[in-house]
Structure 1
Amino acid sequence: EQIEHYPQEKLHVSTDKDSYIAGDTIWLRAHCADAATHRPVAASRYVYVELRDDRGSLVRRIKLLSRDSVYSGYLPTQSLERFGDYSLTAYTLYMRNQGPDYFFKKPLTIWPYQESRRTQRNTSVRKVSDFDVSFFPEGGYLIDGYDCCVAFKALGDDGGSVEITGVVKNDRDEVVDTLRTLHGGMGCLRFTAHTSERYYAECTMAGGKTERFDLPASRNTACVLKILQTEENFTVLPISGRPLPKGLKLLVHCRGNICYHKPWNYDYASLIFRRSDLPGGILQILLLDKAGNALSERLVFNRGEELATTDMQVQGSLKQRTKVTLAVTATDPDGGPAAGDFSIAVTDRAAVPSATSGSIYSTLLLTSELRGTIETPDWYFEGRDAARVTALDALLLTQGWRRYDVPELMKKEYVEPQYPLEVGQEITGRISKSGLWNRKKKLSRYEMRMIVPSLHYVTKCAVDDTGAFALNGFDFPDSTLYVLRPAAVRGSMPEATVKVARDSFPEVGTLPRVPAQEQKKPYIAQARYYIEQRGQTDMRNILIDTVYVTHHKRLESTRPEHRLAARTWTAEQIKEAGAGTILDFIARM
């Protein structure tokens, strides 16, 4: 019911590449999908795309308009003051209800064409002097006497992941397990906790520094979900250090779509789910008490989704400045033609570093479901070996899913969105009368009138008792001039002043810095060679030679009535004309 009343959106933005040279243009395409079904939607008319440097400072912001349900545009990289790590963030106004954790984010790299002393470069060389390790027991708690899985995540003092090795010891300094990160500073360890024993880990970072971290204490009164996984199915087993309470329920859902919701049957100790019967993506498994409170939570990734395949045939030889025809086919799992919405970017594989920001597959099924930054998300899906499967499970154990607060929904407490669906442009504000007396009285007798001189567009709207107004129902391009004027609905009223509400934008943090790729040098060399051939540094536009125009500058009036007038006479022209009446002036015009 929450999804039906207030559906949510997801975004994926494709760029032509992930590394650029100053002078490049970042060509991009945004794909908006329903968060529950992953079907394409274009209910939001605009997508906001922001480019930020490593300090979080805004460099560019554009507003993409949906044209035939397609959001596409570009970002220029000319006149940048800093080079190196950047982040691209995209969201709709409606997505602000979930917060910045669910915005689309991807890292980009922008290099200067020529290094100089004045070039401000934010280098990707990391200097990590200290680190911290967090531990996350499966289901939320350790239970004495049971084999427990504990995930861990190691982060450096710069916010990025670090690779560590170590051992887990009990309070008698006996080694009970070893640990090693698998990917992105994350990994898993398994051991059986014993009554009245405490455990700690001695972790060593690359470079030799060793730190000690305590593991969470056992909590035998808790009810914990334990998951046993195979490639074909997974088994759900609730465990506790005491008899399970009555009235428990098990809930399994995928993106808010309920897959299983039944009371826990005490006739059997575990429940087996076939992966082929469940949708692809992240499954949230919840153990609920009779009041609907979540006792334990576990996330499982299911790879049972269907995939379309694409094939590309090159007709002609790949020679410089020759026409090449590409034949592209897309097929569904049954071998038939796949209907869909596609975008293609062509780059030089030998020069441009490979993309690491993640494909639309990993965005929709993984990164859009989890909070926090996920480094190289496509790595988890490049194979099905045990290391990737374990690393993906460690990721789900450390970065939980919170798109829907399911326990609150079970209590029929719905969350109403603060921000509406943005279906068009809107100008809002407030008017006030001048003078000391009756400043707030009779404001509803005004109406707000708007003129767009360049497009000959006129509209108006009512003003309420507080002086607030909202003009909408129009959609004009960037840099359009609007003229607003409050006027009396009938009769004459004293002049009123207009205060327009400014657009607000969310605070978006920076992405953790990742080491620079080794392939950047060939790309820079190739780009410089290309620029030298073109004879100028702008790689996407052809510039004509400078033209100098000299003319006596004429002072243009900024008053809206002068801009709307067909002709305007200055005081000097009136004096020279010698006309005595306004009719004479009009006749001479």
Structure 2
Amino acid sequence: MKLKVSLFAIFTLFILIFLAFVSKDEDPIEKLLASLQSWTDNNPQEKVYLHTDKPYYVVGDTIWFKAYVTIGAKHQLSALSGAVYVDLINEGDSLAQSLKLPLMAGMAKGSIVLSDTSIREGNYRLRAYTQWMRNAGPDYFYDRTFSVGNSAANTVFAKIDYIYTKDGAQTKVKALIKYTDQKGKPYADKAVRYELKEGFESIVTGGGKTNELGELSINLPDRKKESKGSAYVLTRITIADGENVPKSFPIKRASQQTDVQFFPEGGNLVNDIITKVGVKAIGVNGLGVLVQGVVIDNENNEVAKLETTHFGMGYFSLKPEQGKTYQVKITYPDGSVNMLKLPKAVSDAYALSVYNNSGADTILVRIGAGSSILKKGDQVVSLVAQSGGDLQYAADIPISKSVTSIPIPSKGFSSGILQFTLFSKSGDPLNERIVFVQKNDRMDLKVSSSKKEYSLREKVEIDLDAKDAVGKPLVVNFSVSVIDEGVVPSDETNENSIFSQLLLSADIKGYIEKPNYYFYNPTEETKTNLDILMLTQGYRRFVWKDLISGKQIPPIYKAEKLVTNITGKLMTLSGKPMAGGKVTLINNKLGLVLDTVSDSKGQFKFSNLLITEGIDFTIQGRTVKNGKRLEVQIDKVVGQDVTPNVNIGDINSDIPKALMASIENSVKQDLDMQKHGRMGRNQQLKEVRIQASKLPKFGNTILESQADQVFRPNPGQNCGTFKDCLEKMDNNKSVFFELVTSVDCGPMWVARPKSEPEVYAVTIDGWLLESCDFQELLLGDGSNISKVYFAYDSYAVRARLLRGRFGGSKPPPVMAIYTKNGNFRSGYDPSLVYYAPKGYASVKEFYAPKYDNSGVNSPLADLRSTIYWNPATVTNKEGKAKITFFNSDNKGTYRVTVEGINADGLLGRQVYRYEVR
């Protein structure tokens, strides 16, 4: 075996000597490593983790969080990006809130208020990413699903259960929704209307009445193979005349039937080579399923048994024989049986097995060669191991027997995912296997207090002590959360942690059930189960074939700096760049006026602007001779679309039950504040009730059903412009746009129906406008659009929308646009542009009360669930820090959670508990 490197530094030295004698094109492994290094240099990997103050919330709470953005395999705090985006996404895959926060040394702090004016009970997601991370795609964003409950405002409590029944190979799903009041009394014989939606697409509508138990049953249709969004059902129950209460529920269904998949280790089943085969069984609810099975050959002989245990995962070993085929007889939890085929075993391939013994400093790799390969004589393959693009091992391996073993020293490896790839002599990838290296390389973080028991409202002092593995003190910027576990009980294995996110979830596509299980209390069992997860869950940061062929896609999104550049072009009305034009950027609120001149390509730039939330600009262009017959075009980055929720298994279908302690505590707090004449909490309004309203008078509008098509903006979809959104709307049967040149306006877009050649007459909030006058709205982001009606079939409907403006002549087809404020600003001037870039959100400071030593208490009850939050607790040069706060009026166990990263990328997390008597 020709070993080229075990550690990266040695390998680099070897290559420098080697390149003096061998052309890069003559050595396949060198070409592989050069491709890997090029990819790593051009695509540094950023990851985001959010430490939140608690795992779930109640309407009226504030989500306190700290963002950590790291770069590279060593998880060092990133200096590449200067901004991080944090989105709050609801069950309908719409943006409920979106923040842009400044990154300082790879860290940012922020908060989101769950106000009752915009938030209601349901399952929400927190998503976080940088612009640079968008190049890798949303699979690698921080994306966590959590529950939000409601308390005093609830008059209707509802839960949803799912009933799964088999219909041949398919699984039928029925939703059973139960409505009760606060005391558990059923809302019997009440009318309910419902609408099943996937994203913004309506799938089924219907209605019925609840039975004597307050239950309504809904048969859910078969799930589409390619869903456009997360599925959920909207219901409105009528509890009194004209009093309708809305409730929404997620549809917890990941597939049509229990999905069982088999994963031969390394990718191939090879005849006469013993191979480990991973098994993963996922139920229709997105969670792992316990199944059993036997492997049967084509002669009906039982050759192996299997059983999934941990989260629906397991494995079995199989030695395929030449000429035989294999299938697995699976027995599901309900007793049903199914036969599934295993991949066909071959003889002209390699098998790759990796034995990652956590107790040793060696990883054993075994390469199995099929009989057809051995008949060709001695062969040479290349084995490469990399972690996050960083090379860990590379060697040429001579193959002369059926099984070749390679022990690899792993003492210098860091914790994280390690990818082994086997390559042919010509450099083609043959096999892959990922393993998880779990070393004792985390920060040695100690959290302590002077005593373990405290009184109500007593001052608490918590000491932090941070050291590395050899006892050297560390300067670390920590985030610290203290919560009342009696009010916020939780399962730590089901939470995200700085370890589970940065070492695991940020690198793995798809849903991982209870990711912190593998890090909360590491044992031999958890490490074994983590290896099975690696066997059955894919890692695809890049595709080797693309790297080798040079098909690396250049980054679309640039790394965003702390300051913003506003750029654009000046164009003539005939569409040519205007050089030497004058550009003025104005903000009246700040009294800001900046000037610049366009270059030979018509481009202009305003640099190094620190833009906060709510700051907007007017940008004016002028010709060299101060004329305004030109167009200002602003360069804009299209926002990130909202993708469907992949964390189906984390969706909570009975929020009131799961969050009962938090909801009851919130009720007590609200009642106490009302008792003392305070209404300081956000969550105080009664539940929204929808009552019927009269239709507008005839002639002012039409019924929605009379329009040939209706468009409503999808907050989860960022199209770029309002025009793009119209063109991309679902089942677009109504409109396409044509670029024409007008004597008065120059180049402009006109809208035409797809069914006839006429141009649409365009109304905005009932006003008929010329094409010149709505170009600004059409080419804007559409954020002020409420809906659009298209009418082209009925002359009567056209006439109503146009309010008889065309008299007795045939009215043209109509595109009726309605804005949110009902007051569109007419008068299109292409030389003047309004621009509101997304600015940095303001950051609130966490308030914690202080009590004096006299024991004098505020008359208000202190029922905080989050006792303390500090996103910037910094240890001194001795590695120590102290935090102080006061307990609330709740007795029980309080949990202190400390997380952080030091400058070298060393991760730290510690949980500490004390009692309040």
Which bracket does the TM-score occupy, shorter chain normalised? 0.7 to 0.9
Correspondence for 1:548: none
Give the whole-Å Cα distance in 2 for the aligned partners of 1:334 and 1:442: 63
- In structure 1, list runs of 5 or more residues that go unmatched: 544-556, 562-589
Q: What is the count of residue pairs matched by the alignment?
A: 542
CA deviations 1:425-476 (Å, max 9, x no partner) are 2434454455xxxx23562231321012222323234435665544332012
Give the whole-Å Cα distance in 2 for the aligned partners of 1:135 and 1:55: 33
Query: In structure 2, the residue corresponding to 1:342 is in which secondary structure?
Result: strand
Give the whole-Å Cα distance in 1 for the aligned partners of 2:142 and 2:344: 36
Task: Give the 3 Å change call, closer, same or farther, for CA 125–239 of structure 1 in structure 2.
Answer: closer
Give the whole-Å Cα distance in 2 for the aligned partners of 1:23 and 1:113: 9
Correspondence for 1:369: 507
Give the whole-Å Cα distance in 2 for the aligned partners of 1:537 and 1:35: 48
- In structure 2, list runs of 5 or more residues that go unmatched: 1-36, 157-244, 686-824, 833-917
Contact 1:84 1:124 in 2 (8 A): no
**Structure 2: which amino acid aligns with 1:425?**
T
Task: Give the 3 Å change call, closer, same or farther, for CA 164–95 of structure 1 in structure 2.
Answer: same
Task: Give the 3 Å change call, closer, same or farther, for CA 298–219 of structure 1 in structure 2.
Answer: same
Give the whole-Å Cα distance in 2 for the aligned partners of 1:48 and 1:246: 51
Give the whole-Å Cα distance in 2 for the aligned partners of 1:444 and 1:209: 74
Give the whole-Å Cα distance in 2 for the aligned partners of 1:6 and 1:385: 35
Correspondence for 1:566: none
Task: Give the 3 Å change call, closer, same or farther, for CA 73–173 of structure 1 in structure 2.
Answer: same
Kindly indicate whether residue 650 of structure 2 is the aligned counterpart of residue 514 of structure 1: yes
Kindly indicate whether residue 283 of structure 2 is the aligned counterpart of residue 156 of structure 1: yes
Correspondence for 1:240: 369
Give the whole-Å Cα distance in 2 for the aligned partners of 1:311 and 1:124: 43
Correspondence for 1:498: 632
Correspondence for 2:144: 106
Contact 1:168 1:200 in 2 (8 A): yes
CA deviations 1:49-101 (Å, max 9, x no partner) are 11112332221111111245431111121134542322211110001111111
Task: Give the 3 Å change call, closer, same or farther, for CA 189–116 of structure 1 in structure 2.
Answer: farther
Give the whole-Å Cα distance in 2 for the aligned partners of 1:199 and 1:236: 26
Task: Give the 3 Å change call, closer, same or farther, for CA 266–241 of structure 1 in structure 2.
Answer: closer
Correspondence for 1:573: none
Contact 2:447 2:463 in 1 (8 A): yes
Correspondence for 2:321: 194
Deviation at 1:137, TM superposition (A): 0.4
Kindly indicate whether residue 61 of structure 2 is the aligned counterpart of residue 24 of structure 1: yes
Give the whole-Å Cα distance in 2 for the aligned partners of 1:80 and 1:202: 50
Give the whole-Å Cα distance in 2 for the aligned partners of 1:425 and 1:466: 21
Correspondence for 2:72: 35
- Percent of aligned pairs with the same residue? 27
Equivalent in 613, 616, 620 of residue 478 of structure 1? 613
Contact 1:143 1:218 in 2 (8 A): yes
**Structure 2: which amino acid aligns with 1:297?**
E
Contact 2:499 2:519 in 1 (8 A): no
Correspondence for 1:524: 663
Contact 1:85 1:513 in 2 (8 A): no
**Structure 2: which amino acid aligns with 1:259?**
Q
Deviation at 1:33, TM superposition (A): 0.7
Contact 2:424 2:430 in 1 (8 A): yes
Equivalent in 440, 443, 459 of residue 575 of structure 2? 440
Task: Give the 3 Å change call, closer, same or farther, for CA 157–473 of structure 1 in structure 2.
Answer: same
Task: Give the 3 Å change call, closer, same or farther, for CA 229–325 of structure 1 in structure 2.
Answer: closer
| RMSD after superposition | 3.0
Task: Give the 3 Å change call, closer, same or farther, for CA 464–153 of structure 1 in structure 2.
Answer: farther
Correspondence for 1:50: 87
Correspondence for 2:622: 487
Kindly indicate whether residue 552 of structure 2 is the aligned counterpart of residue 417 of structure 1: no
CA deviations 1:152-210 (Å, max 9, x no partner) are 22223454443323332222333322222233322212122222222222323333443
Query: In structure 2, the residue corresponding to 1:276 is in which secondary structure?
Result: coil
Matches within 5 A, 1:505-584: 505-507=639-641, 508-510=643-645, 511-514=647-650, 516=652, 520-535=659-674, 539=681
Contact 1:113 1:537 in 2 (8 A): no
**Structure 2: which amino acid aligns with 1:495?**
R
| Higher alpha-carbon deviation: 87-96 or 76-85 | 76-85
CA deviations 1:250-275 (Å, max 9, x no partner) are 11122222122121144892111233
Contact 1:107 1:357 in 2 (8 A): no
Give the whole-Å Cα distance in 1 for the aligned partners of 2:620 and 2:309: 63
Task: Give the 3 Å change call, closer, same or farther, for CA 527–124 of structure 1 in structure 2.
Answer: farther
Contact 1:353 1:519 in 2 (8 A): no
Correspondence for 1:94: 132
**Structure 2: which amino acid aligns with 1:7?**
P
Correspondence for 1:140: 267
Matches within 5 A, 1:10-21: 10-21=47-58
| Higher alpha-carbon deviation: 254-263 or 20-29 | 254-263
Query: In structure 2, the residue corresponding to 1:444 is in which secondary structure?
Result: coil
Task: Give the 3 Å change call, closer, same or farther, for CA 218–324 of structure 1 in structure 2.
Answer: same
**Structure 1: which amino acid aligns with 2:148?**
I
Task: Give the 3 Å change call, closer, same or farther, for CA 332–494 of structure 1 in structure 2.
Answer: closer
Moved over 6 A (4+): 124-129, 540-543
**Structure 2: which amino acid aligns with 1:257?**
D
Query: In structure 1, the residue corresponding to 2:379 is in which secondary structure?
Result: coil
Task: Give the 3 Å change call, closer, same or farther, for CA 426–148 of structure 1 in structure 2.
Answer: same
CA deviations 1:290-346 (Å, max 9, x no partner) are 222111111111112412132223357644444322222222222332222211111
| Higher alpha-carbon deviation: 529-538 or 476-485 | 529-538
Correspondence for 2:393: 260
Deviation at 1:394, TM superposition (A): 2.0
| Higher alpha-carbon deviation: 134-143 or 400-409 | 400-409
Asked which structure has the greater RCO (Cα within 8 Å, sep 6+), the reply is: 2
CA deviations 1:507-531 (Å, max 9, x no partner) are 3231213364975222222232233
Task: Give the 3 Å change call, closer, same or farther, for CA 171–515 of structure 1 in structure 2.
Answer: farther
Correspondence for 2:796: none
Correspondence for 1:313: 448
Give the whole-Å Cα distance in 1 for the aligned partners of 2:265 and 2:307: 18
Contact 2:48 2:70 in 1 (8 A): yes
Correspondence for 1:217: 344
TM-score, normalised with respect to structure 1 = 0.84
Correspondence for 1:297: 432
Equivalent in 75, 97, 101 of residue 64 of structure 1? 101
Matches within 5 A, 1:341-490: 341-354=477-490, 355=492, 356-410=494-548, 414-423=552-561, 424-434=563-573, 439-441=574-576, 443-463=578-598, 467=602, 469-488=604-623, 490=624
Give the whole-Å Cα distance in 1 for the aligned partners of 2:309 and 2:298: 27
Query: In structure 1, the residue corresponding to 2:75 is in which secondary structure?
Result: coil
Query: In structure 1, the residue corresponding to 2:648 is in which secondary structure?
Result: coil
Give the whole-Å Cα distance in 2 for the aligned partners of 1:248 and 1:448: 61
CA deviations 1:401-440 (Å, max 9, x no partner) are 2223344434555443121111132434454455xxxx23
Query: In structure 2, the residue corresponding to 1:346 is in which secondary structure?
Result: strand
Correspondence for 2:748: none
| Higher alpha-carbon deviation: 73-82 or 425-434 | 425-434
Equivalent in 312, 319, 324 of residue 460 of structure 2? 324
Contact 1:453 1:481 in 2 (8 A): no
